[in-house]
Amino acid sequence: MCCLICMADTDAIILKHSGKVSFFDCHRRELLSRHEYRSDIGKAITKRRSSKRLEGEQVVEWLDELVDDDDGGFLCYGEEHSWTHKSCLWELPYAKALVLPYNIDVMHQERNISAKKDLVEICDRPYLEIQINSNGMESRPRAPYYLKPEDRKQILKWLQTLNQYKRAVNVSTGKLNGLKSHDYHIFMERLLPVMFRGYFDDELWKLFAELSNFYRQLCAKVISKKLMRELEKGIPVLLCQMEKIFPPGFFNVMEHLLVHLPWEALAGGPV
Protein backbone atom coordinates (compact mmCIF):
# COMPACT_ATOMS: atom_id res chain seq x y z
CA MET A 1 0.00 0.00 0.00
CA CYS A 2 1.82 3.11 -1.25
CA CYS A 3 5.38 1.92 -0.50
CA LEU A 4 7.18 0.77 -3.64
CA ILE A 5 9.66 -1.17 -1.54
CA CYS A 6 7.37 -3.04 0.86
CA MET A 7 4.51 -3.33 -1.63
CA ALA A 8 2.04 -5.89 -0.24
CA ASP A 9 4.26 -6.78 2.73
CA THR A 10 3.15 -3.83 4.85
CA ASP A 11 1.10 -3.18 7.98
CA ALA A 12 -0.12 0.21 6.77
CA ILE A 13 -3.73 1.00 7.63
CA ILE A 14 -6.41 3.37 6.36
CA LEU A 15 -7.48 5.75 9.11
CA LYS A 16 -11.19 5.45 9.82
CA HIS A 17 -12.09 9.13 10.03
CA SER A 18 -9.71 10.83 7.63
CA GLY A 19 -9.47 7.98 5.10
CA LYS A 20 -5.69 8.53 4.86
CA VAL A 21 -3.14 5.76 4.65
CA SER A 22 -1.07 5.63 7.83
CA PHE A 23 2.16 3.77 8.52
CA PHE A 24 1.73 4.25 12.25
CA ASP A 25 3.20 1.36 14.28
CA CYS A 26 4.69 -0.21 11.15
CA HIS A 27 8.29 0.21 12.21
CA ARG A 28 8.72 -1.99 15.27
CA ARG A 29 9.15 -4.95 12.94
CA GLU A 30 12.20 -3.22 11.45
CA LEU A 31 13.93 -3.13 14.85
CA LEU A 32 16.58 -5.62 15.88
CA SER A 33 14.89 -8.81 17.09
CA ARG A 34 15.61 -8.19 20.77
CA HIS A 35 15.01 -4.46 20.89
CA GLU A 36 12.91 -3.44 23.89
CA TYR A 37 10.38 -1.52 21.75
CA ARG A 38 9.33 -4.76 20.08
CA SER A 39 7.55 -5.84 23.24
CA ASP A 40 6.22 -2.45 24.29
CA ILE A 41 2.58 -3.23 23.52
CA GLY A 42 0.97 -6.30 22.05
CA LYS A 43 2.83 -9.45 21.14
CA ALA A 44 1.88 -9.81 17.49
CA ILE A 45 4.55 -7.46 16.23
CA THR A 46 7.33 -8.72 18.45
CA LYS A 47 8.01 -11.66 16.16
CA ARG A 48 7.35 -9.99 12.81
CA ARG A 49 10.32 -9.89 10.49
CA SER A 50 11.50 -6.80 8.66
CA SER A 51 9.57 -6.02 5.51
CA LYS A 52 10.83 -7.87 2.44
CA ARG A 53 12.57 -6.00 -0.32
CA LEU A 54 11.73 -7.30 -3.78
CA GLU A 55 14.47 -7.52 -6.39
CA GLY A 56 13.94 -7.06 -10.12
CA GLU A 57 13.28 -10.72 -10.85
CA GLN A 58 10.56 -10.97 -8.20
CA VAL A 59 8.83 -7.81 -9.43
CA VAL A 60 8.83 -9.07 -13.03
CA GLU A 61 7.39 -12.41 -11.89
CA TRP A 62 4.67 -10.60 -9.98
CA LEU A 63 3.81 -8.44 -12.99
CA ASP A 64 3.63 -11.53 -15.22
CA GLU A 65 1.05 -13.06 -12.88
CA LEU A 66 -1.34 -10.09 -13.01
CA VAL A 67 -4.62 -10.84 -14.77
CA ASP A 68 -6.39 -8.13 -16.80
CA ASP A 69 -9.88 -7.11 -15.74
CA ASP A 70 -12.67 -5.61 -17.88
CA ASP A 71 -11.89 -2.02 -16.85
CA GLY A 72 -8.37 -1.92 -18.24
CA GLY A 73 -6.79 -2.68 -14.86
CA PHE A 74 -5.86 -5.89 -13.08
CA LEU A 75 -7.93 -8.27 -10.96
CA CYS A 76 -7.60 -7.98 -7.14
CA TYR A 77 -6.41 -4.37 -7.35
CA GLY A 78 -6.36 -2.79 -3.87
CA GLU A 79 -6.52 -6.19 -2.19
CA GLU A 80 -3.44 -8.06 -3.28
CA HIS A 81 -1.57 -5.37 -5.21
CA SER A 82 -1.59 -1.69 -6.22
CA TRP A 83 -0.47 -2.03 -9.82
CA THR A 84 -2.42 0.20 -12.21
CA HIS A 85 -0.29 -0.53 -15.29
CA LYS A 86 2.86 -2.32 -16.37
CA SER A 87 5.69 0.04 -17.19
CA CYS A 88 7.64 -0.76 -20.34
CA LEU A 89 10.80 -0.38 -18.25
CA TRP A 90 10.13 -3.86 -16.86
CA GLU A 91 10.55 -5.24 -20.38
CA LEU A 92 14.18 -4.19 -20.52
CA PRO A 93 16.48 -7.22 -20.83
CA TYR A 94 18.31 -6.43 -17.59
CA ALA A 95 15.17 -5.66 -15.50
CA LYS A 96 15.33 -9.05 -13.79
CA ALA A 97 18.92 -8.48 -12.74
CA LEU A 98 18.22 -5.25 -10.85
CA VAL A 99 19.06 -5.38 -7.16
CA LEU A 100 17.67 -1.90 -6.68
CA PRO A 101 14.61 -1.67 -8.97
CA TYR A 102 13.58 1.72 -7.56
CA ASN A 103 15.66 4.49 -6.09
CA ILE A 104 13.82 6.80 -3.70
CA ASP A 105 14.26 10.48 -4.53
CA VAL A 106 15.71 11.68 -1.22
CA MET A 107 15.33 15.38 -2.03
CA HIS A 108 11.65 14.84 -2.80
CA GLN A 109 11.15 12.78 0.34
CA GLU A 110 13.04 15.33 2.44
CA ARG A 111 10.94 18.13 1.00
CA ASN A 112 7.71 16.35 1.91
CA ILE A 113 8.83 15.65 5.47
CA SER A 114 10.07 19.19 5.82
CA ALA A 115 6.85 20.67 4.49
CA LYS A 116 4.91 18.61 6.99
CA LYS A 117 6.98 19.95 9.82
CA ASP A 118 6.38 23.53 8.91
CA LEU A 119 5.16 25.69 11.70
CA VAL A 120 1.54 25.83 10.70
CA GLU A 121 1.17 22.07 10.49
CA ILE A 122 2.79 21.66 13.85
CA CYS A 123 0.46 24.14 15.44
CA ASP A 124 -2.73 22.87 13.90
CA ARG A 125 -2.52 19.20 14.72
CA PRO A 126 -3.17 18.61 18.39
CA TYR A 127 -3.16 14.83 18.70
CA LEU A 128 -4.58 13.92 22.02
CA GLU A 129 -8.14 12.73 22.39
CA ILE A 130 -10.90 15.27 22.65
CA GLN A 131 -12.08 15.49 26.25
CA ILE A 132 -15.43 16.58 27.64
CA ASN A 133 -15.09 19.04 30.53
CA SER A 134 -17.48 19.52 33.49
CA ASN A 135 -19.64 21.92 31.46
CA GLY A 136 -20.13 19.29 28.77
CA MET A 137 -17.86 21.18 26.37
CA GLU A 138 -15.22 19.50 24.22
CA SER A 139 -11.62 20.46 24.84
CA ARG A 140 -8.29 19.37 23.41
CA PRO A 141 -5.15 19.12 25.54
CA ARG A 142 -2.16 20.98 24.15
CA ALA A 143 0.14 18.69 22.17
CA PRO A 144 3.87 18.66 22.98
CA TYR A 145 4.62 19.92 19.46
CA TYR A 146 2.32 22.92 19.86
CA LEU A 147 4.09 26.23 19.27
CA LYS A 148 2.69 29.33 20.91
CA PRO A 149 1.86 32.08 18.37
CA GLU A 150 4.54 34.36 19.84
CA ASP A 151 7.16 31.59 19.58
CA ARG A 152 6.12 30.93 16.00
CA LYS A 153 6.60 34.60 15.15
CA GLN A 154 10.03 34.62 16.80
CA ILE A 155 11.16 31.63 14.75
CA LEU A 156 9.84 33.09 11.51
CA LYS A 157 11.56 36.39 12.20
CA TRP A 158 14.79 34.54 12.79
CA LEU A 159 14.34 32.74 9.48
CA GLN A 160 13.87 36.13 7.84
CA THR A 161 17.39 37.07 8.90
CA LEU A 162 18.74 34.30 6.63
CA ASN A 163 19.27 35.45 3.05
CA GLN A 164 18.11 32.19 1.55
CA TYR A 165 14.76 32.28 3.35
CA LYS A 166 13.84 35.92 3.88
CA ARG A 167 11.66 36.16 0.77
CA ALA A 168 9.86 32.91 1.56
CA VAL A 169 8.79 33.82 5.09
CA ASN A 170 5.36 35.30 5.65
CA VAL A 171 5.13 36.17 9.34
CA SER A 172 1.45 37.16 9.23
CA THR A 173 0.26 33.84 7.74
CA GLY A 174 2.95 31.76 9.47
CA LYS A 175 3.90 30.09 6.19
CA LEU A 176 6.97 29.52 4.08
CA ASN A 177 6.25 30.03 0.39
CA GLY A 178 8.19 29.32 -2.77
CA LEU A 179 10.97 27.21 -1.29
CA LYS A 180 12.90 24.99 -3.67
CA SER A 181 14.04 21.43 -3.03
CA HIS A 182 17.49 22.57 -2.02
CA ASP A 183 16.04 25.03 0.51
CA TYR A 184 14.14 22.19 2.16
CA HIS A 185 17.31 20.14 2.04
CA ILE A 186 19.20 22.80 4.03
CA PHE A 187 16.18 23.28 6.26
CA MET A 188 16.17 19.62 7.30
CA GLU A 189 19.89 19.09 7.56
CA ARG A 190 21.01 22.35 9.18
CA LEU A 191 18.20 24.56 10.43
CA LEU A 192 15.75 22.15 12.04
CA PRO A 193 17.63 21.56 15.30
CA VAL A 194 18.72 25.20 15.59
CA MET A 195 15.35 26.82 14.98
CA PHE A 196 13.44 24.68 17.47
CA ARG A 197 16.03 24.65 20.26
CA GLY A 198 14.42 25.96 23.43
CA TYR A 199 10.88 26.00 22.03
CA PHE A 200 10.08 22.34 22.68
CA ASP A 201 10.98 20.09 25.57
CA ASP A 202 14.30 18.28 25.29
CA GLU A 203 12.79 14.92 24.37
CA LEU A 204 11.01 16.31 21.30
CA TRP A 205 13.88 18.57 20.31
CA LYS A 206 16.22 15.58 20.43
CA LEU A 207 14.01 13.77 17.90
CA PHE A 208 14.22 16.72 15.50
CA ALA A 209 17.99 16.87 16.02
CA GLU A 210 18.38 13.13 15.37
CA LEU A 211 16.24 13.30 12.25
CA SER A 212 18.33 16.19 10.98
CA ASN A 213 21.53 14.29 11.76
CA PHE A 214 20.18 11.24 9.91
CA TYR A 215 19.72 13.23 6.72
CA ARG A 216 23.08 14.96 7.12
CA GLN A 217 24.92 11.66 7.37
CA LEU A 218 22.85 10.00 4.64
CA CYS A 219 23.41 12.82 2.16
CA ALA A 220 27.13 13.29 2.88
CA LYS A 221 29.41 13.30 -0.15
CA VAL A 222 31.34 10.37 1.28
CA ILE A 223 29.49 7.61 3.11
CA SER A 224 30.72 4.44 4.77
CA LYS A 225 29.05 1.04 4.78
CA LYS A 226 29.44 0.88 8.53
CA LEU A 227 27.65 4.18 9.06
CA MET A 228 24.81 3.27 6.68
CA ARG A 229 24.28 0.02 8.58
CA GLU A 230 24.16 1.98 11.82
CA LEU A 231 21.61 4.38 10.30
CA GLU A 232 19.58 1.40 9.11
CA LYS A 233 19.43 0.07 12.66
CA GLY A 234 18.81 3.48 14.21
CA ILE A 235 16.05 4.92 12.02
CA PRO A 236 13.29 2.46 13.13
CA VAL A 237 14.10 3.37 16.74
CA LEU A 238 13.73 7.06 15.93
CA LEU A 239 10.41 6.42 14.15
CA CYS A 240 9.13 4.42 17.12
CA GLN A 241 10.03 7.32 19.40
CA MET A 242 8.22 9.73 17.07
CA GLU A 243 5.16 7.47 17.17
CA LYS A 244 4.98 8.10 20.91
CA ILE A 245 4.49 11.80 20.25
CA PHE A 246 2.95 12.37 16.83
CA PRO A 247 -0.53 11.17 15.78
CA PRO A 248 -1.17 8.33 13.27
CA GLY A 249 -2.06 10.80 10.51
CA PHE A 250 1.48 12.16 10.64
CA PHE A 251 2.99 8.87 9.50
CA ASN A 252 2.28 8.73 5.81
CA VAL A 253 4.49 6.98 3.30
CA MET A 254 7.06 9.79 3.37
CA GLU A 255 7.91 9.14 7.01
CA HIS A 256 7.91 5.42 6.35
CA LEU A 257 10.40 5.69 3.46
CA LEU A 258 13.05 6.77 5.96
CA VAL A 259 13.55 3.10 6.89
CA HIS A 260 14.56 2.25 3.32
CA LEU A 261 16.98 5.10 2.62
CA PRO A 262 20.14 3.72 4.31
CA TRP A 263 19.91 0.42 2.41
CA GLU A 264 19.44 2.29 -0.86
CA ALA A 265 22.54 4.35 -0.11
CA LEU A 266 24.40 1.10 0.61
CA ALA A 267 23.26 -0.46 -2.67
CA GLY A 268 23.29 2.60 -4.89
CA GLY A 269 26.00 4.82 -3.40
CA PRO A 270 25.90 8.41 -2.06
CA VAL A 271 22.71 10.38 -2.63
265 binds Zn ion (CB under 5 A): no
6 versus 271: smaller Cβ distance to Zn ion: 6
Q: What is the smallest separation between the CB atom of 51 and Zn ion, expressed in angstroms?
A: 6
**Window of 3-11, 91-99, 134-142, 172-180 that interacts with Zn ion by CB under 5 A:** 3-11
7 binds Zn ion (CB under 5 A): no
Q: What is the smallest separation between the CB atom of 92 and Zn ion, expressed in angstroms?
A: 24
3 binds Zn ion (CB under 5 A): yes
C-alpha distances out from residue 39 to 36, 114, 222, 246, Å: 6, 31, 36, 20
87 versus 102: smaller Cβ distance to Zn ion: 102
3 versus 228: smaller Cβ distance to Zn ion: 3
Q: What is the smallest separation between the CB atom of 91 and Zn ion, expressed in angstroms?
A: 25
Q: What is the smallest separation between the CB atom of 259 and Zn ion, expressed in angstroms?
A: 6
Q: What is the smallest separation between the CB atom of 196 and Zn ion, expressed in angstroms?
A: 27
Q: What is the smallest separation between the CB atom of 50 and Zn ion, expressed in angstroms?
A: 10
5 binds Zn ion (CB under 5 A): yes
21 binds Zn ion (CB under 5 A): no
254 binds Zn ion (CB under 5 A): no
6 binds Zn ion (CB under 5 A): yes
Show the 3-state SS of the chain.
CCCCCCCCCCCCEECCCCCCEECCCCCHHHCCCCCHHHHCCCCCHHHCCCCCCCCHHHHHHHHHHCCECCCCCECCECCCECCCCCCHHHHCCCHHHCCCCCCCCHHHHHHHHHHHCCHHHHHCCCCCCCEECCCCCEECCCCCCCCCHHHHHHHHHHHHCCCCCCCCEECCCCEECCCCHHHHHHHHHHHHHHHHCCCCCHHHHHHHHHHHHHHHHHCCCCCCHHHHHHHHHHHHHHHHHHHCCCCHHHCCHHHHHHHHHHHHHHHHCCC
104 binds Zn ion (CB under 5 A): no
253 binds Zn ion (CB under 5 A): no
C-alpha distances out from residue 74 to 56, 65, 77, 96, 101, Å: 20, 10, 6, 21, 21
**Window of 2-10, 97-105, 178-186, 190-198 that interacts with Zn ion by CB under 5 A:** 2-10
26 versus 192: smaller Cβ distance to Zn ion: 26
27 versus 152: smaller Cβ distance to Zn ion: 27
Binding site for Zn ion (CB under 5 A): 3, 5-6
